[in-house]
């Protein structure tokens, strides 16, 4: 028996697909702005992390306790839902000691996150084994006016 084309079912499916794409785009819009986090590294050093997201692009900077930048990275970011979890994928990353000293990095980062109005919690270092630091949850505060 041949299935009949049903325009109303096709339209409903198309709308559902469009709304799910818009939901992911909207989630990325909610992440836009400048986020700051202070934490201690596993060696005891205090660092400030600044994550800025604009559209599908990100910039990340890590500063030492003296305020001097130690690490800079930029690239692309996208969000998706994996079951009940919100996931941010950072890819096409270039990094270095400053924004003028960037090299392509053959790595990506996938972080589970939760977002409240002005707090962003990101589970870092759980996606794969990394030499530089222990897995952790970083809590970022949104900078005023962003």
Per residue in 103-132, pLDDT tens? Answer: 999 899 999 999 988 899 999 989 888 776
The label of the residue with tokens 């109005």 reads 117
47-76 as b/e: b if 16+ CB within 10 A: bbbbbbbeeeebebbbbeeeeeeebbbbbe
Which residue ranges form the domains of the chain, and what is each CATH number? Answer: 7-142 (2.40.128)
Q: Is the pLDDT of residue 23 over 70?
A: no
pTM: 0.78
The label of the residue with tokens 């890590």 reads 62
Give residue 89's pLDDT: 96
């Amino acid at each position: 028996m041949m299935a009949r084309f049903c325009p109303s079912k096709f339209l409903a499916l198309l709308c559902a697909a469009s709304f799910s794409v818009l939901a992911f785009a909207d989630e990325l819009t909610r992440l836009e702005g400048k986020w700051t986090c202070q934490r201690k590294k596993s060696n005891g050093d205090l660092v400030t992390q600044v994550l800025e997201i604009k559209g599908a692009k990100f910039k990340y900077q890590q500063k030492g306790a003296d305020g001097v930048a130690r690490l800079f990275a930029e690239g692309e970011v996208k969000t998706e839902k994996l079951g009940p979890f919100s996931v941010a994928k950072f890819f096409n990353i270039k990094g270095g000691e400053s924004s003028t000293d960037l090299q392509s990095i053959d790595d990506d980062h996938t972080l589970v996150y939760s977002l409240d109005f002005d707090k962003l919690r990101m589970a870092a270092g759980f996606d794969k084994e990394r030499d530089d630091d222990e897995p952790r949850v970083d809590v970022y505060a949104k900078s005023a006016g962003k």
